[in-house]
Amino acid sequence: MILFLKAHHGAMAAGWTPPTQAQAEAGNYLKPRIRWNGLEIAIENPAGSTRSGQDRSGNRWSITMAHPYGYVVGSMGVDGDPVDVYVGPDASAPMVYVIHQRRVGDWVVYDEDKCMIGFGSEDEARHAFLQHYTDPRFLGPITAMPVDEFVAKVRATRERPAMIKAVIR
């Protein structure tokens, strides 16, 4: 079950007001919060909102979010930022799919993890990820793991940032 803790000007509804450019860059704007399996997730971009920017070559890009995107509050990924998540439609999905995203311009190099929670299959998670990128080369290897293992690993990142990998049994 997903529980909304705070609303940001109706952020999860059509009336959401996006942050200014300065607020987005600083990250200092109110974000709706949801609880998922004991973790608190801050939603930076609700479904239907638009993310845009400029790549290193100066080309503008824009993506309409098909799924909510945010991060696990109080976590720390290997990139030094909180663990990133896309939130799918099935809060009770038993698996999490961690996409080890590739680095733009150097497509064979690992960049960061994007965790796909609430998706019913690896194919659904892959499709959802690709909906949010203008270049399919961002898609790297995918690690599937049970929700409880993912939650434990994310909680452990508070002490020691790490790439989230499955334990081979």
- Per-residue pLDDT, 12: 46
- Per-residue pLDDT, 165: 64
- Comparing 59 with 7, the larger pLDDT belongs to 59
- Per-residue pLDDT, 13: 41
Angle of CA points 130, 25, 103, to nearest 5°? 40
- Per-residue pLDDT, 161: 63
pLDDT band at 166 (very low <50, low <70, confident <90, very high): low
Report pLDDT digits (tens) over 45-95: 999 998 888 877 888 889 999 999 999 999 998 888 999 999 999 999 999
> How many alpha carbons fall within 13 Å on the CB side of residue 141?
8
Mean pLDDT of 157-162: 71
Q: For the chain, what are the domain ranges?
A: 3-156
Q: What is the CATH architecture assignment of 3-156?
A: Alpha-Beta Complex (3.90)
Dist CA 153 CA 8 (whole Å): 29
Closest CA to 141 of 104, 110, 106: 110
Residue 110 has pLDDT above 80, yes or no: yes
- Per-residue pLDDT, 7: 34
- Per-residue pLDDT, 16: 59
Residue 168 has pLDDT above 60, yes or no: no
Dist CA 17 CA 15 (whole Å): 6
Dist CA 92 CA 97 (whole Å): 14
Residue 20, SS3? coil
Report pLDDT digits (tens) over 113-133: 999 999 999 999 999 999 999
Name the pTM for this structure: 0.82
Residue 37 has pLDDT above 90, yes or no: yes
